[in-house]
A and B are shown apart, each in its own frame.
Chain A
Amino acid sequence: MTEAKASQKINPVVLAVLRGRLEQIADEMDATLFRSAFNPIIAEAHDASHGLYDAQTGDTLVQGKEGLPVFVGVMAFAVKYVIEKTATMPPDEGDVYIFNDPYEGGTHLSDFKLVRPVFREGKIFCWLASVGHWHDVGGNVPGNYNPVATESFAEGVHIPPVKLFRKGVLQNDIVDILKTNSRLPLSVYGDLNAQISALELGEKRLFDLLDECGDDTVKSVFAELRARAHLQMEAHIGQLTDGTVSASDWLDNDGIVDQPLVVAVDIHVRGKKMVLDFSRSAEAVAGPVNISRSTAIAACYVALKHLFPDVPANAGVLDPIDIVIPEGSLLSATAPRPVGGYTETILRIIDVIFSAIGKIAPKRALGNAYGTINALSLAGHREDGSRWVMFSFFGGGHGGHGSGDGLSHGNAPISMATIPPLEIFEAAYPIAFRQWAMRQDSGGAGRFRGGLGATYQIEILNEQAMGFFFGERGRHAPCGVGAGASGALNRFSWQTAKSSEAQSPEMTSKKVGIHLQKGGSVLLQTPGGGGFGDPLERPVEKVIEDFHMGYISVPQMQEAYGVVLNEQGALDGEATDVRRAALRQSRAEGDAV
């Protein structure tokens, strides 16, 4: 925690104007990379981010608005790591560092970070950084979501911070190493070039701005914006009731040992300060759902930004907050513990923070979103012998909230990723979707219903393919708020051939090496969001509309919402009153027990 001091000196017009100009630089770097990246995870799913970082501490100064939200918090750690590495060997002008270390730099090996010092009059003024999720970085599983990895070596190539550029000169040896370690070298080469272009553009725009407004003015704006984010966050915390609230949730397993892993938070609110204590969470595990401390802190940042979206995106957000994570925790993993499935664990961190805050600030509360990235890859060889790798994340429902139902088929809270069109998948790979649909009854019941998850079925059109699946929420569904019900569980299954029996993973939500033949298929049914508030308080006409739209089935309508229709399909008011009374009664009895 640090103390906030807002300065009174800086001209309010200069501050407002420069804030916009600085954000525009980061946004423009995002846009450049999205436009020119090769792999769809960056180009379509926007799994990338850019920002400006403090010269000495690496703290986030300004962040682009379009990038992956979880990177917003994590990039500062990547820059800090480079600052530490270069303490004894200071960088030269024109140097650019590249690495994918997930322990210091956050997230997982797929995310390559490029970090570039910006020099003014021979001294570092600030850092620019670019991070993007590459399509394939080696390891045992194409696309790098390896649910049975027990060491990071099975997940992909591991590059510490090295100089990609020395004094402005590209080091082709480094490029060769990177290309050689990927199944998709052209994609790696294309993405690398796109990230370099984004950094070049960022530096050019920043220089223009500094020349126009003066280095000192811009520096004072950095400090002021941080102080203001800090003050604003304090004001939000100040409105919460003092005391401690807790929430726990579980991961299905780590992919190696089939037992649930608890992610728990105790939130202590004291005046304008807040402590997020994760001490009750599980210890580090053998499988790839560990996350590093920097990733965990970034996840807290994402959760708080969703709950308090008006606070500017810079390091000031976390200034009034202490985060406690013991050594050896699932949430503070060190090398070489596997971290490939980090997305699942940070989604759970966000869920428990939502659930805990929901207990003291119901108006701000959100039902849990679907809570799993559902990484699915299908891979094989075409008739001409060339390799194909289809890799994507899949969507689900968002939680109900105090002002409405959750969004159906949204993207994960940690991301602004869109899913590629199925026609693009089908044009690129020998597959055909058989279903791309909303999943009935998957949204948690509530006064405001959770959004619906989806059903995707994909059939293999050529002779052989292998499938790899990494998901979560197979046994622990996304929670609602108050009396709001949970969303549906995640379901994954496959048929090896057209007529063979459906199988599902022993580990419920993770599986490697699924053999598929022509006509075989995979079926993924994703969770909806948690409901908000008592489903018996949902207006009857909205329940009936949900039924007519096929969002809910007859049993859900009767059992969860207590709404009964007569034989003509119209509301049976009397039977509904009786049914709702009975449900209230049995709920009261259940509470008494």
Chain B
Amino acid sequence: MTEQTTKASQSRYIIGVDVGGTFTDLFFVDQQTGEAFTGKLPSTLENQSIGLIEGILRALPDFSGIDTIVHGTTVGTNALLERKGSQTGLITTEGFEDVLEMRRRDRPETWGLRGDYRPVIQRNLRLGVAERTLASGQIERPLDEQAVLDRAKALLEAGCEALCIAFINSYANSENEQRAGEIARSVWPNDHVTVSSDILPEIREFERVSTAVLNAYLQPKMARYLNQLGSQMRQNAFEGDILIVQSNGGVMTLGSAADQPVRTALSGPAAGVIAARFIGQSAGFDNLITCDMGGTSFDVSVVAEGRSALAAQSSIDFGMVVRTPMIEINTIGAGGGSIAWIDGAGLLQIGPQSAGSNPGPVCYGLGNEDPTVTDANLVLGRINADRPIGGKLDRLDVDKARRAIKDKIALPLGISDMEAAEAIIQVANARMAGAIRIVSIERGHDPAKFTAMPFGGGGALHIGALIREVGLKSGLVPRYPGVTSALGCVIADMRHDAVKTINRTISDLNDAELLNAAETLWQTCHARITASETAVFDAIEEDIEADMLYAGQTHSVQVKLAGRHALNSNDLKAAFEEAYRAQIGQPLDNIPIRLINLRVAAVAKRPNLDLRAMAPKDGVMLQDAFLEMRSIWADGIWQEAPVYDRLALGVGQKCMGPALLEQADTTIFVDPGLIGEVDEFGNLIILPEA
């Protein structure tokens, strides 16, 4: 990693800041010179803005030279995971107060029947009012306005800071719900009122209520954080714009983030995927599988022909459903801290239990006795015991790690310590390979056309094995894998999504009405984007998708539409059948096709970045980057492998596996039989030996 350099304050900077669980990463772009540089410091989770501001001040004298700060934040995610949002009340249709707690009649695990569930709004703070809208949109029973007033006051008295209003069938007609919102706002002392049809005017009451409730639950905390951040920035002469990263991989204004914080709930991994896509495209790789290996999990995402898939919803935890578009990411519990264990049937298993970063792997010596994936990598010689990543510890305890592997894995399986360590890595690799298969093969992609791109700390040790196991074309390790997400913040587009439930057979659609609906959605999105006064865009583009299905089905297919001109039954049918063929199988004849939801996104392209600025300028020959020879265990034997200083390597340098390449925030293992080569951007491209 480059040193944090101080730059002249006259230049105009764009700064990406990603606050993760352990580190706050920064990525600076100097728009005048085109140069880029990075920063990294421990996160300050109690108040994320402290680390953010300190990180900037380490590189710049003050904030006057800053054009834009793009912030990836885990404030929302953490508040949900730890259930530390604000006391929230719900006003809903009488008779349906329990929709949130009843979920969709599910349970957390197939076997065992031992699940439990606590909704974020307890039952005595969910109050009903008389009103009813039917599925047709007809208002069957007018709103009892006095009741709304009474309930809102009662919830305030009970100590609620935020309020959610969600009525049955408000997706079909939001009149009663919107009116209730106005009334409640007239007595609510702050802005923290969420109305479900503003957040998600989409059919499915539990998903809509859950999303709206979680939004309200996050509003006060997020608003406080953003206010604090803004005022601290201004104290330091900041006159630029702050943008916040969303789960859909786009960014939004501070104002949008404060009133729709639920859209940040799953933003953590999104910025990384955005960056990976950009790095890959710049280097000529349009088909990528991004792999983010952290302490407890392994996240994979597919970029096919330069595009990421968006998932319509996700669960933060059992029963905690957020239905806003997010970059589709598959997570399995196999990270560096994942524990290896022998199950009751005598089978070696990895995770999902994790030692996390505290106490962490056995080799940290902080009290954990169960061997982890990191311990196995250490024992196999693939991690340098004297240079632990992250800088918290001085050295890692190899003997302790080896003893744990011997006692807990090798003895029960009747194999040697080294075989056991390699077995842990092989089983972990197999699980990761499984995750990659799910996102690639199962979605109809041919893995032989894809390149794996690891980011985060741990992935680069496993990339060779993944290339071999899944049959991928190649691997690409970005020059600074540890700050990928911060880079993603810098280059992410401004994006806003909106959805409307249509729920009609396409032959019955009125084209003018449909166009009108699209226009309304577009205006909503457009207004959110142009609310930013200072941000500069190249252009604002429209993205239209439809959720469609055969009448009678309940799961819809995401159909990308060519544009508004495709909003007619012929084009819709053709687009649906194409999508159905790709995602499900043979289209069916003579069954009516329904358009369930119309989705519109406005995407404002932000200025591009030339990654060549990141390339090594005075890189050296391979032999000059050589650090030492190390004994590593691979393919069942000890082998001598050279270790190189990764960042010193010049463009075009090649190394044969087995080899290790070290840098401050990651270690790359080039497996036997693979070759690594530095490209013109400083990426390391890993290919099978010809």
Among candidates B104, B117, B427, B553, residue contacting A37 with C-beta atoms closer than 8 Å: B553
Minimal beta-carbon separation of B68 from chain A (angstroms): 41
- Min CB distance B440 to A, Å, is 12
CB–CB A231/B206 < 8 A: no
Contact A36 B555, CB 8 Å, known A416-B106, A416-B107, A426-B135? yes
A128 CB–B CB distance under 8 Å: no
Residues in A whose Cβ lies below 8 Å from that of B415 = 12
Q: With an 8 A cutoff between CB atoms, is A411 at the interface? A: yes
What residues of chain B lie closer than 8 Å to A335, measured between beta carbons?
Answer: none
CA distance A423 to B168 in the complex (A): 7
Interface string of A402-441 (1 = CB under 8 A from B): 0111111111010011111111101100001111111000
Min CB distance B149 to A, Å, is: 23
B554 close to A190 (CB less than 8 A): no
0/1 interface trace, chain B 519-538, chain A, CB 8 Å (1 if under): 00000000000000000000
How far is it, in angstroms, between the C-alpha of A24 and the C-alpha of B438 when the chains are bound?
Answer: 9
Contact (Cβ within 8 A) B105 A197? no
Q: Contact check: which of A37, A232, A421 meets B205 at CB < 8 Å?
A: A421
> Which residues of chain A are near B168, meaning CB under 8 Å?
422-423, 433
B98 contacts the other chain (CB 8 A):
yes
Is there a chain B Cβ closer than 8 Å to A568's Cβ? no
Among B385-393, B582-590, B660-668, the one that faces the other chain is B582-590
- Residue B132 at the A interface, CB < 8 A? yes
The answer to the question of B629 belonging to the interface, with a C-beta cut-off of 8 Å to chain A, is: no
Judging by beta carbons under 8 Å apart, are A193 and B586 in contact? yes
Q: Is the CB of A39 within 8 A of B552?
A: yes
Contact of B96 among A17, A69, A407, A437 (CB under 8 A): A437
Q: Which of A511-555 contact B (CB under 8 A)?
A: 548-551
Q: Say whether A549 contacts B122, CB under 8 Å.
A: yes
- Chain A residues contacting B347 (CB-CB under 8 Å) are 12, 15-16, 19, 228
For A233-258 the 0/1 string (1 means CB < 8 A from B) is: 00100000000000000000000000
- Checking A6, A15, A17, A418 against B106 with a beta-carbon cut-off of 8 angstroms, the contacting residue is A418
Given contacts A401-B114, A413-B113, contact A232 B123 (CB under 8 A): no
Interface pair B140/A432, CB less than 8 Å apart:
yes
Q: Are B113 and A401 in contact (CB under 8 A)?
A: yes
Asked whether A20 is an interface residue with its Cβ less than 8 Å from the other chain, the reply is yes
Task: Pick the residue among A37, A310, A410, A461 that contacts B105 (CB under 8 A).
Answer: A410
> Are A409 and B113 interface neighbours, CB within 8 A?
no
A424–B204 alpha-carbon span in the complex (Å): 7
On chain B, the residues within 8 Å of A34 by CB distance are 555
- Inside 8 A of A15's CB, which chain B residues have their CB? 347
A8 within 8 A of B: yes
Against B, the Cβ 8 Å flags (1 = close, 0 = not) of A8-30 are 10001101110111001000100
Identify whether the interface residues of B are mostly helix, strand, loop, or mixed.
loop
- Residues of chain B lying within 8 A (CB to CB) of residue A551: 123
B 437-480 to A, binary, CB cutoff 8 A, 1 in contact else 0: 11000100000000000000000000000000000000000000
Q: Which residue of B lies closest to A66 (CB)?
A: B110
Given contacts A12-B415, A399-B113, A438-B102, contact A432 B171 (CB under 8 A): no
Interface positions, chain B 70-129, Cβ under 8 Å from A, are: 95-99, 101-107, 109-117, 122-124
Q: Which residues of B contact A6 (CB under 8 A)?
A: 346
Q: Is B394 an interface residue (CB 8 A)?
A: no
- The 8 Å CB contact of B102, one of A65, A408, A423, A457, is A408
Max chain A C-beta neighbours (<10 A), residue from B103, B169, B347, B554: B554
Is the C-beta of A369 less than 8 angstroms from some C-beta in chain B?
yes
- Bound-state CA distance A311–B434 (Å) is 22
Q: Say how far B65's CB is from chain A's closest CB, in angstroms.
A: 51
Query: Is A44 positioned at the interface, with any CB of B under 8 Å from its CB?
Result: yes
A395 at the B interface (CB under 8 A)? yes
Within 8 Å of chain B (Cβ to Cβ): is A229?
yes
On whether the beta carbons of B584 and A36 are closer than 8 Å, the reply is yes
Among candidates A366, A410, A413, A421, residue contacting B206 with C-beta atoms closer than 8 Å: A421
Most chain B CB inside 10 Å of its own CB: which residue of A228, A232, A426: A426
- Cα–Cα distance between A432 and B133 once the two chains are bound (Å): 10
Measured CB to CB, the closest approach of chain A to B390, in angstroms, equals 30
Contact A197 B585 (CB under 8 A): yes
Which chain B residues border A403 with CB–CB below 8 Å? 114
B115 x A410 contact (CB < 8 A) = yes
Please, which residues of chain A bring their CB within 8 A of the CB of B442?
28, 31
| B345 contacts partner chain A, Cβ-Cβ < 8 Å | yes
Interface mask (A58-97 → B, CB under 8 Å = 1, otherwise 0): 0000000110010000000000000000000000000000
Whether A36 pairs with B585 at a CB distance below 8 angstroms is yes
Asked whether any CB of chain B lies closer than 8 Å to the CB of A590, the reply is no
Task: Please state if B345 and A549 are interface contacts (CB–CB under 8 Å).
Answer: no
Q: Are B430's CB and A16's CB within 8 A?
A: yes
From B207, B437, B554, B584, give the contact of A40 (CB < 8 A): B554
A148 to chain B, nearest CB (A): 27
Does B575 make an interface contact (CB < 8 A)?
no
**Does B44 interact with chain A (Cβ within 8 Å)?**
no
Any chain A CB within 8 A of the CB of B284?
Answer: no
A35 touches B111 (CB 8 A): no
Which chain B residues numbered 276 to 319 have a C-beta less than 8 Å away from chain A? none
Interface membership of B539, Cβ < 8 A: no
Contact sample, A vs B, 20 pairs, CB 8 Å cutoff? A17-B427, A17-B430, A32-B584, A36-B584, A37-B555, A38-B552, A39-B552, A66-B110, A186-B552, A190-B550, A190-B588, A193-B586, A197-B586, A411-B107, A421-B204, A424-B554, A426-B135, A433-B168, A437-B96, A438-B102
B residues within 8 Å of A by Cβ? 95-99, 101-107, 109-117, 122-124, 132, 134-135, 140, 168-169, 171-172, 203-207, 343-349, 413-415, 423, 426-427, 430-431, 434, 437-438, 442, 503, 550-555, 583-586, 588, 591
Which 8 pairs from chain A and chain B are nearest by CB? A395-B105, A309-B111, A228-B345, A426-B135, A309-B112, A17-B430, A419-B105, A418-B104
Contacts A24-B437, A35-B555, A432-B135 known; 14 new A-B pairs at CB < 8 A: A12-B415, A32-B584, A186-B552, A187-B552, A190-B591, A225-B345, A306-B113, A309-B112, A311-B345, A417-B105, A423-B135, A424-B204, A436-B98, A549-B122
Write the residues of chain A forming the contact surface with B, with a CB cutoff of 8 angstroms.
6, 8, 12-13, 15-17, 19-21, 24, 28, 31-32, 34-40, 43-44, 65-66, 69, 184, 186-187, 189-190, 193, 197, 225, 228-229, 231-232, 235, 305-306, 309-312, 366, 369, 394-395, 398-399, 401, 403-411, 413, 416-424, 426-427, 432-438, 454, 457, 461, 548-551
